[in-house]
Amino acid sequence: MKIRKILIAAGLACSVLGMGNLAAASEWKEIRIGVEATYPPFEYRNAKGEMEGFDVDVANAICGKLDAKCVWVEQSFDGLIPALQARKFEVIHSSMTATEARSKVIDFTDPLYAIPTQLIAKKGSGTLPTAESLSGKRLGVLQGTTQEAFAKKAWGKGGVQIVSYQDQSQTYADLRAGRLDAALLEKPNAIAGFLVTPEGRDFEFVGEVLSGDPILTNEIAMGLRKSDVKLKEAINKAINELAAEGTIAEIAGKYFQPGEIGLMQAK
């Protein structure tokens, strides 16, 4: 899962008939989308059990451009790529960073946005995002994310005990219970999912936003099978149309403060 800025990337075509040899939009009556649905404000279920969030609204706008219906398929984050390959759905849209390693296995659309990674810990703990400060402590990360990969690479051999979770809410529960000393998170999720809640009032961001490592490029895109070339082209066209129209920025304004994420520019 993930430098803080808000660049923009989303736009999609009302019809794919104008895309050369692309099939008509009617080719995709529905698009099954894999998602780890416990990750506010990107994707989560609201009090009514309805799927909600920034990624959800963007995907629905894309499906609208393609005259298709979005169908949400819930999956643990670390199981999203295997499930995509097993054809349980056509697209991954779950705040997934388009890394070089993942690109060897699946394909990605144009980037949609970029998000920063930062450490949180209890207020007054003095904890910092360094191997020295974290040595001997328990650090929580979401399994299968770039945060997990970075923590293992940067701190795994420095005496830091890295604890991986399939569900981000479990990370927060263990922070509250004192079973974790810190957690490495995408900043918007840390805010919406924990810090602004009553349970998170005793915690805060510590240290600066992490940068300077290729693992933390934090460009988020939608994942597809490498064979689904037409669908990728259709979604990219849609992403860039939505970006040019200002729709992505409008949706972002519903969930984020200005500058909280980086929306990629339309091509």
In a domain, 17, yes or no: no
**Amino acid 16: pLDDT:** 36
Residue 9 lies in a domain: no
Predicted local confidence at residue 26, as pLDDT: 53
Residue 20 lies in a domain: no
133 neighbors 149 (Cβ within 8 angstroms): no
215, 98 contact by CB (below 8 A): no
pLDDT at 210: 92
Domain count, the chain: 2
Q: Are 165 and 107 part of one and the same domain?
A: no
> What's the pLDDT score for residue 216?
84
Residue 234 has, within 13 A of its CA and on its CB side, a CA count of 29
Contacts of 264 (CB under 8 A, 6+ apart): 7, 8, 9, 110, 111, 112, 113, 114, 219, 243
The tokens for 6 are 């808000």
Query: Which DSSP category does 160 fall into?
Result: -
129 shares a domain with 200 = yes
Radius of gyration of the chain (CA): 18
171 and 197 assigned to the same domain = yes
For residues 142 and 167, state if they share a domain. yes
Run means of pLDDT, 10 residues per run, the chain, 267 residues: 36 37 62 95 94 97 96 96 98 93 96 94 96 97 94 93 94 96 94 94 95 84 97 97 96 89 86
Same domain as 142, residue 98 = no
* CB within 8 Å of 86: residues ≥ 6 apart: none
CA gap 247, 250 in Å, rounded: 5
Same domain (yes/no): 170, 84:
no
Q: Residue 247 falls within a domain, yes or no?
A: yes
3-class DSSP string for 88-126: CCCEECCCCECCHHHHCCCEECCCCEECCEEEEEECCCC
Q: Looking at the structure, do residues 210 and 231 belong to the same domain, yes or no?
A: no
103 and 226, same structural domain? yes
Of 193, 216, 239, the position where a domain reaches its end is: 216
Do 152 and 195 fall into the same domain? yes
Q: How far is CA 151 from CA 117, 193, 259, in A?
A: 11, 21, 25
**Same domain, yes or no: 166 and 121:** yes
Same-domain check for residues 133 and 246: no
**Domain range for residue 55?**
25-114+219-263
CATH code where residue 255 lies: 3.40.190.10
Same-domain check for residues 175 and 105: no
